[in-house]
Structure 1
Amino acid sequence: MKYLPAEDISFQSKLKATELIQRLKDSIEPERAFRFGLFQRRETKPYQGKVVGNSFNISRIISYRNSFLPRISGNIENTFDGSLIKVKMRLHVAVLIFLCIWSGIVGTVGIGFLSKAFGSTHFDPMTLIPLGMLVLFYVVMMLAFQYESTQSKADLESLFEAEIVEE
């Protein structure tokens, strides 16, 4: 079981790298800073990002806000019977920094509350709130990331006419 919002996946396709790169280029558009509200166009491609050589950095274009949307980077390599696509799905760096700071603050407050509660003869259930916030935040983060990564895996399987291979 994975405990962090990150995935390393390999796809095996019967198509050659040049064909896969062209399909990928046809499915992405350049990144834009704003894609919601008045700035959202109706006719978008499924992904945004860029392809450089045999490598790519993309993310899904969604019509809602999800800070836990995976950033997808990958490399396409020719093999004897097609291509191998190695993909990494990670959170955006700014989201990771925020998660570390927020979790550190809430965790420190939670430990402070618990240490104070253990020094007292009276137990107050309110001392568990910061730790409950951490657990709830972790569950929401993992579910949101998994939902989006599942969507992206299915899209990439279809786009590359590929199967996921175990390494």
Structure 2
Amino acid sequence: MNLIKYILYNQVKIITNRNPDEAIKLLKSHIDGNSSLFEGYINGYKFDMYKRLEKFNRNSFVPVIKGAIREHWQGSEINVVIRLNLLVIIFMVLWTSVILISVLKSIILYHNFLPIFFLGILCIVWLICWQIYDGEVTQATNFLKRLFCE
């Protein structure tokens, strides 16, 4: 198991036989427009993108995708960093900290072990978050690999 993956941060490297200009042009054609699955911004050979959400749809676990395209002897190397939105990470860390502090306070000050139950709930919530995030990362990674390697 890769521990970094469970900290909600992934790196992907894609090698393609397209030159950097072709790769950027191809990416731009797939993130512009209303019918595309992803939307984002391209600045030179760097890009930021995220999954397009339908109107009134909210998904805090949509990953932020940042990448850079550079020349490679086979064509292009696309280095992509996929991570959870920073505000969501901060919220989850604060929320987890509050629960852990409350449980420890209850155990240490009151010798009450009943709040340990909340640690189980905390683990289940984190597992659900990881599953949702992992599904989104898999979808984004597959999109990029299909786009550049076809």
The TM-score range, normalised by the shorter chain, is: 0.7 to 0.9
Question: In the comparison of the two structures, how many residue pairs are matched?
Answer: 145
Q: Distance in 1 between matches of 2:130 and 2:48?
A: 22
Within 5 Å, which residues of 2 pair with 1:1-167?
1=1, 2=3, 3-29=6-32, 43-63=34-54, 64-116=57-109, 119=111, 126-161=114-149
Q: Which has the larger radius of gyration?
A: 1
Matching residue's letter, 2:147: L
Q: Distance in 2 between matches of 1:67 and 1:92?
A: 7
Q: Distance in 1 between matches of 2:97 and 2:132?
A: 21
RMSD: 1.9
- Decide whether the 8 Å contact of 2:15 with 2:74 is kept in 1: no
Q: Distance in 2 between matches of 1:51 and 1:91?
A: 20
Identity %: 26
Matching residue's letter, 1:26: S
Matching residue's letter, 2:44: G
SS at match of 1:15: coil
TM-score, scaled to structure 2:
0.87
- Decide whether the 8 Å contact of 2:62 with 2:84 is kept in 1: yes
Q: Kindly indicate which of the two structures has a greater share of residues assigned to helix.
A: 2
TM-score, scaled to structure 1:
0.79
